[in-house]
């Protein structure tokens, strides 16, 4: 778990540096009408963080296996109008959500990491998988912002 926490911390630092040092017009640039800008990707990462904070918290006390609920990513990006938001406000919110997730991760132990979850596919997995999946998802999207 220590390695995952270190990787997560590293990703947060890299993402924060990249967004903070980027020009607003670069963050808002869209390569096509259907693609997300870097601002919208950051907004999506906020939504993902909010949903995963809820998941990582609820699994501690909900009946097992914990049922993972989906969320409408595209509609959330659209309704929150991340494209026109202030980049520093989004960065601050993204960091706050993930700092809270970091604290939850540090509280986990072998028992809690093995809590069972039922994925949307009905497959049974565990909290450890959800955490690894969240960090992989974060890494994937941060690469889109950084490069």
Upstream peptide bond of 65 is cis (omega within 30 degrees of 0)? yes
Considering the domain delimited by 2-146, tell me its CATH architecture.
Answer: Up-down Bundle (1.20)
Q: Which two tokens stand for residue 59?
A: 């699994």
pTM to 2 decimal places: 0.95
Nearest CA-CA partner of 138 in 36, 49, 37:
49
Nearest CA-CA partner of 36 in 47, 25, 44, 26:
44
Enumerate residues 6+ apart whose C-beta is below 8 A from 147: none
Tell me the domain boundaries of the chain.
Answer: 2-146
Per-10-residue mean pLDDT of the chain, 147 residues long, equals 94 97 96 95 98 98 96 97 97 98 98 97 97 98 94
Q: Which two tokens stand for residue 19?
A: 């967004």
Distance separating alpha carbons of residues 142 and 110, to the nearest angstrom? 29
pLDDT score at 147: 82
Nearest CA-CA partner of 83 in 30, 9, 135:
30
Q: Which two tokens stand for residue 50?
A: 């909010």
What SS3 class is residue 61? coil
């Amino acid at each position: 778990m220590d390695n995952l926490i270190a990787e997560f911390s590293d990703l947060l630092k890299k993402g924060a540096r990249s967004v903070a040092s980027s020009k607003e017009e670069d963050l808002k640039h869209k390569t096509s009408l259907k693609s997300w800008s870097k601002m919208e990707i950051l907004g999506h990462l906020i939504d993902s963080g909010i949903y995963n904070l809820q998941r990582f918290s609820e699994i501690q006390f909900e009946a097992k296996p914990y049922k993972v609920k989906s969320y409408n990513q595209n509609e959330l990006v659209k309704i929150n109008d991340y494209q026109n938001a202030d980049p520093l406000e989004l960065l601050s919110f993204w960091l706050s959500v993930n700092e809270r997730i970091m604290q939850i991760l540090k509280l986990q132990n072998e028992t809690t990491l093995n809590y069972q979850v039922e994925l949307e596919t009905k497959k049974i997995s565990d909290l450890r998988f959800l955490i690894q999946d969240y960090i992989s998802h974060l890494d994937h999207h941060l690469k889109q912002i950084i490069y």
